[in-house]
Amino acid sequence: MTNTRIAAIDVGNDSLKAIFGRMEAELNIPNVIARDIEDRPIIGIEELDNQDPLNGIHIRVHSPILKDNNAIYRVGQLATKSDNSSELDPGSSKSEEDQTIIMLFAALALDAVRDENKQIFKKSNNVVEATYLLGTGLPLREVKEGKDVGYRSQLLSAVHQVEFLVTPKYQGQKVNIRFDEVKVYPEGFAAFINLVMDNNLNIVNKELIDRRILIQDIGGLSTDIAVIKDRKVDDDKAQGFNLGVSESLEMIREEIRSRHGVELDSRRDVVEIITKKNDRNHIMVKGSRTSVHDIVDRILFELAKKQYRILRNTWQKNSQTEICYFIGGGSLILKEYLKTMNNKLDGYNIDFFEDEKESIWMMANAYYKLITDFARKAEKVPAAAPKEEQKQGKTN
């Protein structure tokens, strides 16, 4: 019998973060796709299986919930090298984009075909039958609009197939993906759970549990503000804004191209330039180390001013707030600008996560905590005995 495996997946605007099973496997894949052909050209095809599958994700995705069904894609790192690569656009709804679904299915398929999962999923004729209990999330704005219901329903409604084409180690394998259950959590609530509870949902930060908290989640395409009061998100005051870092990253990328003639593959390349430990805000131009500090500072400072305005307006409407936590990949990029601005202006009690991984993986970790708690509670409910056994008073 096919077993059900836990998956907690955050399809972030910059990258997908996923945790599987009992936290024994995780994935981080750039959220970039590109349409492709079935027989993509590759140098050294005989060496394909010695390469990392994450650097060569090449798949056909079949699902009735996709607008463009049965299409072929490069995904993640491989897609960043394509001229026709696609990243999510500002103003788009994560729940309504094929790209979100493609990234989600690609991650599940990559987990399902791992050798370590041979004892979990049935495989016949290179087809893996994979069943998952999925925990994922959507921005507060989309949840408030009720889009989580349709998103969940679509995922549950069918069997979805991923076929690996010219992908290292997995070429020719197919994965049929089914869901036993799908839980779609609002991102602000998930962030709160991650702040105050451990993996067993035991309260670990008691000093936060009854405080009035703001959580400002700065993503690639949007910013969500969750207002936490009485241990839950205040739905009336939770807000979502179509303001993320992606547009600013594109502006930096374009100005570097026009001023220095350097073509960066994707927004992710810009992020690496901004956040790297050594030679931050420097690029190589014709072999010479060149500063782009002025470009980065000017564009990111303008974005930080807009983010600070959101904080100020929200705090004014929630005057008894005690602290605001900035989370998400965007907060890492804007941290120093926001701190400097806050010190000069209002002096709000704000905090950031110094651990880069903790901030970036916060949503995936929260979904994992929530979905494992759901699974644990579901297992406590005994299955109904067959009718004949019920008559005889027997139990399984």
Left if phi > 0, otherwise alpha if psi is -120 to 50, otherwise beta: which for 106? alpha
> How many other C-beta atoms can be found within 10 angstroms of the C-beta atom of residue 56?
23
Q: Are 240 and 138 in contact (CB under 8 A)?
A: no
Sign of the Cα pseudo-torsion (280, 285, 286, 289, in order):
negative
- Contacts (Cβ under 8 Å, ≥6 apart) of 127: 173, 174, 175, 176
* CA separation for the pair 311, 27 (Å, rounded): 32
| Bridge partners, residue 323, by sequence | 213
Residues 64-92: pLDDT tens digits? 999 999 999 999 999 988 888 887 776 67
CA–CA gap between residue 232 and residue 154 (Å, rounded): 27
SS3 279: coil
* Closest among 217, 194, 205 to 364, alpha carbons compared: 194
pLDDT given for residue 140 in this prediction:
80
**Structure-block tokens of residue 264:** 């960066």
- Give the per-residue pLDDT at 354: 66
Whole-angstrom Cα Rg for the chain = 23
Give pTM, 2 decimals.
0.84
- Residue 327, pLDDT score: 87
| pLDDT score for 389 | 39
The pLDDT of residue 223 is: 87
Helix (H) or strand (E) holding 28: strand 25-30
Weakly modelled stretches of the chain, pLDDT under 50: 1, 381-396
The residue among 191, 358, 223, 195 whose CA lies nearest residue 304 is: 223
Place of tokens 């974005």: 303
d(CA 66, CA 161): 11
- Can you list the domains of the chain with their CATH numbers? 4-186 (3.30.420.40), 210-360 (3.30.420.40)
Taking residue 342's Cβ as centre, other Cβ atoms within 10 Å add up to: 18
